[in-house]
Amino acid sequence: MKIAVAKGDGIGPEIMEAVIGIFNAAKLPLEYQYVDMGKWVFDKGFSNGMTPEAKETIENLGILFKGPMETPKGKGVKSVNVTARKTWNTYANDRKFQTLSGVDTVFSKAGVNIDLTIVRENIEDTYGGIEHMLTRDVALARRFITRGGSEQVIRYAFEMAQKKGARRITCGHKANIMKLTDGLFLEVFNEIAKEYPNLKADDVIVDDLCMKLVSRPDLFDVIVLTNLQGDIVSDLCAGLVGGLGFAPSSNIGDHISIFEAVHGTAPDIAGKNIANPTSLLLSGLNMLRHLGMMEKAALIENALLYTLESGIHTGDFGDKSIPAVNTTEFANAIIENFGKQPKHNPKPTLQDFDFLPTNSQITENPMLLSKQPYEARKILGADFFIECELQPNEIAKIALKQATDTLKLVTISNRGTQVWPTGSVYTNLVNQFRIRFETDATKALTQDSIISLYSALSKDFQISSVELLNMWGDKKAYSLAQGQ
């Protein structure tokens, strides 16, 4: 089987060489096609961090195994890591965290065994990178949470939890504050949970989740979160088991999947052959299991665990009274330990299965994630975001000139907090306000009427942005201002 391999930047080439050496020693039926990705490709003028030939190879093969990569700072380019995940719709970031004997942590010393899987939505949320300066002082990032995208990652999490034999699956969220975005993610989780009655499904507010993870991580099994929250929580979990050097990462899509080290490129030690290849190796083991090579994955992982138990370590971890080995020596020790079983948490040898690539299912056009038509939609008004340095009462006097019996000025807010018709002198203001015009729920407006109102307001205000206030069936599809 051919897979695409990108060595990465900094320590990437040396840890990739170590891992490929372990794979070759295990006689894996893999052929590696190396592709050009990373900082040096940016420097050659490719703004997405990969050559066209690399993109074509990865899309043809469907599997990318990659080392850590650097994105140049201050050049207006996007992260090659995020670009790759989003371009190929690897919607589920699957990161497994386990207690490793020989890697001392607070929890391992206390005898607390950690076996956690974080599934992070990988495409949407603020990682859309859609940002605008509404004024010189106010920046806006749009946060997209979609029903189709949420269904993809949550269903993957349930399927994976079922195959893992998980005892619990938890949705981490902030739906108590972000009632529409996180609320939609939680709603989809609860809908899909009904299809898996054998799994205990629950939800926890993300800040409470973080507190519980650092006090009792053994209470959790599989956790699924939105993109930004999942990014933060997964790094938190890496800290529970020894750091990013022991944190594998899989990015799973329907057609293309990416397996990578998530730690940095460590340019200060690049070329010294002292880097720890464990994270990349664990990611590679996830790849082998994804490809159905269960027997070889267990052979290599048990050898890794035995090596760690034996006290063999690189300089970034382990018993300091035992001399550290270099990258090559660490890899060779794993190879020498093929066939040996660790005392703690040995991995069972499961039956291989045939990997069936889904690349052949690709159609001529990108897939549209859509649902059945919603209930009848009404437009009940609009939020106009304006740049202005007047006081709220002065803004209201001007805006009220455009109000009618049908379309009323109902609130003015600043940074989400209502400042008119009621407010507080203790609410600090920035030079960007939201003016909300709304009609009665029994009525409906047309887009033309909103455009006419926009035109009228633009004579008095600098309008930065507009959002329609929609209603589907009897459910309003917009939030209230704080204090409204």
CATH assignment of the domain containing 112 = 3.40.718.10
Domain termination site, one of 332, 353, 371: 371
Residue 173 has pLDDT above 60, yes or no: yes
Domain termination site, one of 227, 252, 277: 252
Rg (C-alpha) for the chain, rounded Å, is 26
Residue 372 tokens, joined: 């059945």
- For residue 386, the cross-strand partners are 433, 463
303 within domain boundaries: yes
481 within domain boundaries: no
Domain termination site, one of 371, 391, 412: 371
Range name among 47-61, 372-386, 435-449 with the lowest pLDDT average: 372-386
Residue 304 has pLDDT above 90, yes or no: yes
In the sheet that holds 475-476, the strands lie side by side as 417-420, 408-414, 432-438, 377-387, 462-472, 475-476
Distances (CA, A) of 253 to 50, 79, 122, 184, 258: 19, 19, 10, 22, 8
Task: Please tell me the predicted confidence (pLDDT) of residue 362.
Answer: 57
Buried b / exposed e along 1-26 (16+ C-beta atoms within 10 A): eebbbbbbbbbbebbbbbbbbbbebb
Q: How confident is the model at residue 186 (pLDDT cuts 50, 70, 90)?
A: very high
465 within domain boundaries: yes
Q: Is 9 in the same domain as 70?
A: yes
Q: Is 86 in the same domain as 96?
A: no
In the sheet that holds 63-66, the strands lie side by side as 31-34, 2-6, 63-66, 257-261, 248-252, 92-98, 115-121, 222-225, 168-173, 200-205
484 within domain boundaries: no
- Number of domains observed in the structure of the chain: 3
Q: Is 97 in the same domain as 229?
A: yes
269-288 confidence digits (pLDDT tens): 999 999 999 999 999 999 99
| In contact, 96 and 286? CB cutoff 8 Å | yes
The span from the CA of 372 to the CA of 184, in Å, is 16
Q: Is 195 in the same domain as 278?
A: no
Q: Is 231 in the same domain as 103?
A: yes
The residues, any chain, with a CB within 8 Å of residue 350's CB and separated by 6 or more, are 294, 295, 298
Q: Is 359 in the same domain as 383?
A: no
Burial class of residue 120 (count of CB atoms within 10 Å of its CB; 0-12, 13-18, 19+)? buried
Burial class of residue 338 (count of CB atoms within 10 Å of its CB; 0-12, 13-18, 19+)? middle
Task: Please tell me the predicted confidence (pLDDT) of residue 20.
Answer: 98
- For residue 472, the cross-strand partners are 377, 475
Pairing of strands 222-225, 139-141: unpaired
Question: Domain span at residue 40?
Answer: 1-90+266-371
191-248 confidence digits (pLDDT tens): 999 999 999 999 999 999 999 999 999 999 999 999 999 999 999 999 999 999 999 9
258 within domain boundaries: no
Q: Is 337 in the same domain as 391?
A: no
The span from the CA of 437 to the CA of 445, in Å, is 11
Q: Is 239 in the same domain as 96?
A: yes
Work out the angle between the directed axes of helices 278-290 and 294-309 (0-180°, nearest 10): 160
Task: Please tell me the predicted confidence (pLDDT) of residue 103.
Answer: 93
Task: Please tell me the predicted confidence (pLDDT) of residue 270.
Answer: 95
Work out the angle between the directed axes of helices 206-215 and 227-240 (0-180°, nearest 10): 10
Q: Is 169 in the same domain as 228?
A: yes
The residues, any chain, with a CB within 8 Å of residue 186's CB and separated by 6 or more, are 171, 173, 175, 203
Residue 364 has pLDDT above 90, yes or no: no
* Average pLDDT in the chain: 93
Residue 373 has pLDDT above 80, yes or no: no
**In the block, which residue shows the tokens 């990569």?**
69
Residue 358 has pLDDT above 70, yes or no: no
Range name among 85-89, 111-115, 355-359 with the lowest pLDDT average: 355-359
Task: Please tell me the predicted confidence (pLDDT) of residue 74.
Answer: 60
**In the block, which residue shows the tokens 């929890």?**
107
The proportion of the chain whose per-residue pLDDT surpasses 70, expressed as a percent, equals 96
Q: Which amino acid is at 222?
A: V
259 within domain boundaries: no
Q: Is 174 in the same domain as 231?
A: yes
Task: Please tell me the predicted confidence (pLDDT) of residue 48.
Answer: 84
Task: Please tell me the predicted confidence (pLDDT) of residue 363.
Answer: 59
Q: Is 96 in the same domain as 228?
A: yes
- Looking up residue 451, the CATH number of its domain turns out to be 3.30.70.1570
67-85 confidence digits (pLDDT tens): 999 877 765 667 888 888 9
Residue 366 has pLDDT above 90, yes or no: no
141-152 confidence digits (pLDDT tens): 999 999 999 999
Task: Please tell me the predicted confidence (pLDDT) of residue 482.
Answer: 81
- Residue 220: phi and psi, rounded to 5, are -110, 160
Q: How confident is the model at residue 360 (pLDDT cuts 50, 70, 90)?
A: very low
483 within domain boundaries: no
Task: Please tell me the predicted confidence (pLDDT) of residue 80.
Answer: 84
Task: Please tell me the predicted confidence (pLDDT) of residue 408.
Answer: 95
Task: Please tell me the predicted confidence (pLDDT) of residue 474.
Answer: 86
411 within domain boundaries: yes
Residue 168 has pLDDT above 80, yes or no: yes
Q: Is 398 in the same domain as 365?
A: no
Task: Please tell me the predicted confidence (pLDDT) of residue 361.
Answer: 52
